[in-house]
Structure 1
Amino acid sequence: MSFTAIDDAPVGRFHRKLAMACSGGPLLDGYLLGIVGIALTGISAEMRLDTTTAAVVGVAALVGMFFGGLVFGPITDRVGRKTMYTLDLLALIIASALSMFVTETWQLIVLRFVIGVAIAADYPIATALLTEWLPRRHRARMFTSVIIIWYVGTALAYLVGYLVIEILGDAGWRWMLGSSTILAVAVFLLRIGTPESPRWLVASGRAQEAAQVVESTLGTPVAEAELAALAPEPTASRGSIAALFRGIYLRRITFVVIFFSCAIIPLFALLTFGPQLLGSLGLGHGNLSNLGTAVINLVFALGCLPAMRLLETVGRRKTIIWSFALMVLPLLVLGAWSHAPGVIVVILFCLYALFSGGPGILEWGYPNELFPTHVRAAAVGMAVALTRFGAAIGTFLVPISLVSLGTSATMYIGAGITFVGFLACVAWAEETRDRSLEDTGASVPAPRPVPLTRGETA
């Protein structure tokens, strides 16, 4: 079963613009979560925050992301991708702009919470919409932009923070927080005119409208019989959280949450440890540490490029299994040789970044491919919400571990967590390459066709 008008379409201007527009959410995610860490020094000084209150300000967006993922994923499956596609950005624009004018700590905490909700809401909205429009042979390549742009957003935050501190000092924190408004407005404008997902329209009983959207967008007529075959079972409930915890979907959501978390926790460990590593080369002191962290994020972005090719040639399953296996090795070496020369440490760090590209892309690719249209956004929202615990662990426990347990033990813990991800991939990773979303998201996936040998006929 396949939506051939979309699945076999050539990649054109519409697909590239949609990928750019949908990547705006990850760009803002990376930027907003990065910029607050830089601004906290100035915020704490001006508002006289103690350590606990500063931590609450820093974690407010993560808490908001937990609730945003749980609530707005199911809503997106019920009311549509297009409707939510711009509403969440309006909330983000308003909250970012108001952050420049806060006078009380509670105001900043509330606004950061709202920003987190909006960011988490955007992931299931934008990634589901993008997935449902992409040709099947190009999903991994186009999804690479989503994860790369997250690292670019974080790198941009540290670069902007570095420049603002150089010009205005720590007192420029209001301009740092307000700068995200410009990015959000640009993404909002880019999204104007985006059509609704035809797959969602079919799942909602609006097949005729879906045919019109496909023909007007791609210039391809769609047969009614093809659309009828895509309709979900009559008993299927749109946006049902309960559906994610039954049958094969329970196994899939467990797999996604485990491998997603096991990729995030060591990532945050290395991003926390990264400025100290670069310090051995003279880039980790004072405001230069912000510039060094920007470089770190760009290295991770580059690691996605070779993975993009492997996901489409070797396949998802082999790539993610080997990626996790190879990601363990640099962490083990860092644990055993924590006082290695700076050049060796940076090389090991770059190797980890290179190997992490496959899981990084599939953090958003797999949850969109492994679930059907009527619960796709709910699945992505659930994955975002539950993996925020991993983000919190990476943000708060890694620095504590570095102080109390030391670098070596921290790297060994990271290697152990990564190995758990490897085991989960060996046990549960499915191959979705070159398959339609209706096939990969089915509760009983169809077997991949066996290629004909020479001399055989279909």
Structure 2
Amino acid sequence: MTTTPATEHGSTGIPPAVDAACARERRRLHTKLKLATQIGQGIDGYIIGGIGMAMAALTADLNLSTLMQGLVGASPLIGIFVGGPLFGRLADRFGRRPVFLVDMLIFLIGSITQFFVVDGLQLFLVRLLMGVAIGGEYAIGAPLLSEYAPRKGRGRLLASLEISWYVGYALATVVGALFADVEGGWRWSLASSAVIAVVCVALRGGVPESARWLLSRGRREEAEALIQKYGIEVDVVAELDERAAGRQAGFRALFSRRHLRSTIFAGVFWAALVLPYFAIGTFWTQVFEALNMGDNAVAALLVYSFTAVAGVTAGCLVVDRIGRRKLLIPPFWITAGCLALVAVWPSSTPVIVGGFLFFIFLNAASSALTAVYPLEVFPTALRTTGVGFATAMSRVGAAIGTFLLPMGLDRFGAEFVLLIGAGVLALGGLVSQFLAPETTDMDLARAARAARDGAA
């Protein structure tokens, strides 16, 4: 039997000279894979964040109705609903590597096409396709990185992807602000994501297949060659035990007795985290005006975005120190209270400012776990399918919230909308209290087993 370069306890069993060669190869691969994945996550945030700054101008240029505003704002989120499960299933069936490249090519095509749209329907369709690619990115990017990551520090590495998302979101607001006074500037700001996509496509060439996926398909010799070359930490015994226990793949397996707990948890906690953030962020100008906060909505959106960057950075720094559950459950209850407080005292500027800042910061800190938890609660054979499905479920809620928020503001006011957001966050806290496992520093195969068995 081929000697694996890493076991559950981290010993290598490889001569020092080979160890040094492995270390060099591993560093090169990790750097390339981390950059390719981080930029992919950043472009996701860039595409979703850019529409918030462009919405007012493109609404005027394209004569969008309130209904079409909601559809354009929600279109990437609707696309993610399709792209997450589709690309996730493809990556579990055909491998991580091809899907990793194809979805970024879709980003590139969609980014350029946005510049040439002439009506709201065309923009909706283009951004819908880009949403499909975003779903693919969630389903494959972080899972592939996790399957090459060491168990120690894996949470911080994966959580850093969410920093990239929020940086991309914030960068899009800055670019949008720069083009705000330019005629047709919203076209340039939306299409500028093509530049990022070109860089990412170049980085993804030559990325190898996942050794864990190869093991899950019974291709042990190929997997061990990669493990040997790159010094990958893989609990081969645990991966093979999972396969021997009866490899389950496909959407039906997500709802089997074996995996239902993980499926419910991953979908609900993710949806509850992102629904208020996307809905409020996409229509921040309208929310700001509905709360009678004056005419500084652009400056407030920039504060909103950069506070989120600070929050997710904090989450990244503590995710491996305090554990997954402590980073997830308390912030759910606190952020629910923040939005409820703003809804109850909408005339108090200190309450509005403080409530939103606490909400944004803590919500973003917990959101670091959306790049961590879903990857850890599913086994390798079902990982990208499970992550893709959880992504889709998260975006169902976000899409509904984004679609309904402008109409909710018109009919019921900001207070009602904020109370709904608080209720969603409270639901996330309740579900996480009972279903969230503690998976810090576990090998992926063992983390999935802990999630399945209900270990807290």
- TM-score tier (shorter): 0.7 to 0.9
- 1:255 alignment partner, one of 254, 265, 287: 265
Q: Within 5 Å, which residues of 2 pair with 1:32-111?
A: 32-103=47-118, 106-111=121-126
The Cα of 1:66 is off from its aligned counterpart by: 1.2
Partner of 1:329: 337
Q: What CA distance in whole angstroms lies between the structure 2 residues aligned with 1:339 and 1:269? A: 21
Partner of 2:20: none
The Cα of 1:231 is off from its aligned counterpart by: 6.0
The Cα of 1:72 is off from its aligned counterpart by: 1.3
2:193 is the alignment partner of 1:185 = no
Q: Within 5 Å, which residues of 2 pair with 1:212-227?
A: 212-218=225-231, 226=237
Partner of 2:253: 243
The Cα of 1:42 is off from its aligned counterpart by: 4.0
Q: Are the structure 2 counterparts of residues 222 and 55 from structure 1 closer, same or farther at C-alpha, using a change threshold of 3 Å? A: closer
The Cα of 1:128 is off from its aligned counterpart by: 0.9
Q: What CA distance in whole angstroms lies between the structure 2 residues aligned with 1:273 and 1:106? A: 19
2:346 is the alignment partner of 1:338 = yes
Partner of 2:6: 4
Q: What CA distance in whole angstroms lies between the structure 2 residues aligned with 1:381 and 1:321? A: 23
- 2:281 alignment partner, one of 271, 277, 285: 271
Q: What CA distance in whole angstroms lies between the structure 1 residues aligned with 2:89 and 2:431? A: 26
Partner of 2:433: 426
Q: Are the structure 2 counterparts of residues 398 and 441 from structure 1 closer, same or farther at C-alpha, using a change threshold of 3 Å? A: same
Q: Which amino acid aligns with 2:51?
A: V
Partner of 1:359: 366
Q: Within 5 Å, which residues of 2 pair with 1:159-170?
A: 159-166=174-181, 168-169=182-183
Instruction: Tell me how large the CA RMSD over aligned residues is.
Output: 3.2
Q: What CA distance in whole angstroms lies between the structure 1 residues aligned with 2:136 and 2:68? A: 26
- 1:311 alignment partner, one of 316, 319, 330: 319
- 2:216 alignment partner, one of 194, 197, 203: 203
Partner of 1:453: none
Q: Are the structure 2 counterparts of residues 316 and 96 from structure 1 closer, same or farther at C-alpha, using a change threshold of 3 Å? A: same
Q: Percent identity?
A: 33
Q: Which amino acid aligns with 1:327?
A: T
Q: Are the structure 2 counterparts of residues 421 and 448 from structure 1 closer, same or farther at C-alpha, using a change threshold of 3 Å? A: closer
| Cα contact 2:290–2:414 (8 A) shared by 1 | no
Q: Secondary structure at the match of 1:427?
A: helix
Partner of 2:14: none
The Cα of 1:384 is off from its aligned counterpart by: 1.2
Partner of 2:16: none
Q: Are the structure 2 counterparts of residues 298 and 282 from structure 1 closer, same or farther at C-alpha, using a change threshold of 3 Å? A: farther
Q: Are the structure 2 counterparts of residues 283 and 35 from structure 1 closer, same or farther at C-alpha, using a change threshold of 3 Å? A: farther
Summarize deviations over 1:33-89 as a string: whole Å, max 9, x none: 222343344444444444434443333322221111121111110111111111111
Q: What CA distance in whole angstroms lies between the structure 1 residues aligned with 2:455 and 2:5? A: 17
Q: Are the structure 2 counterparts of residues 105 and 259 from structure 1 closer, same or farther at C-alpha, using a change threshold of 3 Å? A: closer
Q: Are the structure 2 counterparts of residues 114 and 280 from structure 1 closer, same or farther at C-alpha, using a change threshold of 3 Å? A: closer
Q: Which amino acid aligns with 1:236?
A: R
Q: Secondary structure at the match of 1:136?
A: coil
Summarize deviations over 1:325-359 as a string: whole Å, max 9, x none: 22223223223322113x44322222223322453
The Cα of 1:376 is off from its aligned counterpart by: 0.4
| Cα contact 1:284–1:292 (8 A) shared by 2 | no
Q: What CA distance in whole angstroms lies between the structure 1 residues aligned with 2:239 and 2:277? A: 44
Q: What CA distance in whole angstroms lies between the structure 1 residues aligned with 2:430 and 2:291? A: 36
| Cα contact 2:115–2:188 (8 A) shared by 1 | yes
Q: Secondary structure at the match of 2:152?
A: helix
Q: Secondary structure at the match of 1:23?
A: helix
- 1:408 alignment partner, one of 382, 407, 415: 415
Q: What CA distance in whole angstroms lies between the structure 1 residues aligned with 2:442 and 2:121? A: 49
TM-score by length of 1: 0.86
| Cα contact 1:264–1:394 (8 A) shared by 2 | no
2:128 is the alignment partner of 1:120 = no
| Cα contact 1:311–1:358 (8 A) shared by 2 | no
Q: What CA distance in whole angstroms lies between the structure 2 residues aligned with 1:215 and 1:100? A: 47
Runs (5+) with no aligned partner, structure 2: 12-22
Runs (5+) with no aligned partner, structure 1: 450-458
| Cα contact 2:37–2:161 (8 A) shared by 1 | yes
Q: What CA distance in whole angstroms lies between the structure 1 residues aligned with 2:150 and 2:170? A: 30
The Cα of 1:383 is off from its aligned counterpart by: 0.9
Q: Are the structure 2 counterparts of residues 66 and 280 from structure 1 closer, same or farther at C-alpha, using a change threshold of 3 Å? A: closer
| Cα contact 1:203–1:230 (8 A) shared by 2 | no
Q: What CA distance in whole angstroms lies between the structure 1 residues aligned with 2:56 and 2:221? A: 55
The Cα of 1:370 is off from its aligned counterpart by: 0.3
The Cα of 1:304 is off from its aligned counterpart by: 2.1
TM-score by length of 2: 0.86
Equivalenced residue count is 440
**Larger deviation, residues 228-237 vs 116-125:** 228-237
Q: Which amino acid aligns with 1:191?
A: R
**Larger deviation, residues 23-32 vs 181-190:** 23-32
Summarize deviations over 1:311-337 as a string: whole Å, max 9, x none: 212211233122212222322322332
